[in-house]
Structure 1
Amino acid sequence: MTMYTFGWCSEIQQAEKLKDLGFDYIECALVSLNLENETEFAARLPLFMNSPLPVSAFNIFFPGDLKVVGPEVDEERLQRYIYKAAKALNQVGAKNVVLGSGRSRNIPDGWEQNRSEEQFTQLLSRIGEEFAGTGVTLVIEPLNKKETNLINSVSEAVRFAKQINHPSVRVLADFYHMDEEKESLQTLIDNQAWLQHIHLADTGRFSPGTGQYPYEQFVAALKASGYEGMISAECTIRDPETDQRDSLAFMKRVFA
Structure 2
Amino acid sequence: MELGCVVRGAPEAEQAARLPLDYLEIKGDMLCVEGDEFTALCARLDAVGLPFKAMTSPLPRRYGCRVVGPEADHTAALEVFGDLCGRGAALGVRTVVLGSGQARGIPPGFSADRGLRQFREFLARAHQECDRRGMTLALEPLNRTETNFVNSCAEAREVVDGLTGADVRITTDCFHILSEQLPIAEEVAAAGPAIGHAHTSSVPRGSGDFHEGAQKEFVTALLAAGHRGGLTIEDEFGDFGREAAAAVDVFRRVLAAASGPSPA
5 Å matches for 1:96-111?
96-111=95-110
Partner in structure 2 of residue 29 of structure 1: 27
Q: Distance in 2 between matches of 1:89 and 1:142?
A: 22
Partner in structure 2 of residue 144 of structure 1: 143
Kept in 1, the 8 Å contact 2:177–2:187? The answer is no
> Quick check: 52-61 or 80-89, which moved more?
80-89
Partner in structure 2 of residue 20 of structure 1: 18
Aligned in 2, Cα 1:108/1:53: closer, same or farther, shift over 3 Å? same
Q: CA deviation at 1:213?
A: 5.5
> Is 1:235 aligned to residue 235 of structure 2?
yes
| 1:114-162 deviations in Å (ceiling 9; x for gaps) | 1111110000000112222422111111011111011000111111111
Kept in 2, the 8 Å contact 1:138–1:169? The answer is yes
Partner in structure 1 of residue 156 of structure 2: 157
Partner in structure 1 of residue 203 of structure 2: 203
**Match of 1:56, SS?**
strand
Q: CA deviation at 1:40?
A: 5.7
Kept in 2, the 8 Å contact 1:155–1:191? The answer is yes
Kept in 2, the 8 Å contact 1:7–1:23? The answer is yes
Partner in structure 1 of residue 173 of structure 2: 174
Q: CA deviation at 1:88?
A: 2.2
Aligned in 2, Cα 1:244/1:165: closer, same or farther, shift over 3 Å? farther
**Match of 2:162, SS?**
helix
> Is 1:95 aligned to residue 121 of structure 2?
no
**Match of 1:21, SS?**
coil
Partner in structure 2 of residue 119 of structure 1: 118
Q: Distance in 2 between matches of 1:119 and 1:240?
A: 38
> Is 1:129 aligned to residue 128 of structure 2?
yes
Kept in 1, the 8 Å contact 2:157–2:170? The answer is yes
> Quick check: 96-105 or 80-89, which moved more?
80-89
> Which runs of 5 or more structure 2 residues have no equivalent in the other structure?
257-264
| 1:87-124 deviations in Å (ceiling 9; x for gaps) | 22322211211111111111122221111111100000
> Quick check: 223-232 or 238-247, which moved more?
238-247
Aligned in 2, Cα 1:139/1:188: closer, same or farther, shift over 3 Å? same
Q: TM-score, normalised by structure 2?
A: 0.85
Q: Distance in 2 between matches of 1:6 and 1:178?
A: 19
> Which runs of 5 or more structure 1 residues have no equivalent in the other structure?
none
Q: Distance in 1 between matches of 2:84 and 2:75?
A: 14
Q: Distance in 2 between matches of 1:78 and 1:139?
A: 17
Matched residue count:
252
Aligned in 2, Cα 1:236/1:89: closer, same or farther, shift over 3 Å? closer
> Quick check: 146-155 or 198-207, which moved more?
198-207
Partner in structure 2 of residue 9 of structure 1: 6
Q: Distance in 2 between matches of 1:68 and 1:42?
A: 30
Q: CA deviation at 1:255?
A: 1.1
Q: What percent of counterpart residues are identical? A: 29
Q: Distance in 1 between matches of 2:201 and 2:40?
A: 32
Q: TM-score, normalised by structure 1?
A: 0.88
**Match of 1:203, SS?**
coil
Partner in structure 1 of residue 81 of structure 2: 82
| Of 53, 56, 59, the match for 2:53 | 56
Q: Distance in 1 between matches of 2:48 and 2:30?
A: 14
Q: CA deviation at 1:76?
A: 2.9
Kept in 2, the 8 Å contact 1:12–1:48? The answer is no
Q: CA deviation at 1:51?
A: 4.3
The CA RMSD measured in Å over matched residues stands at 2.4
Which residue identity lines up with residue 18 of structure 1 in the other structure?
A
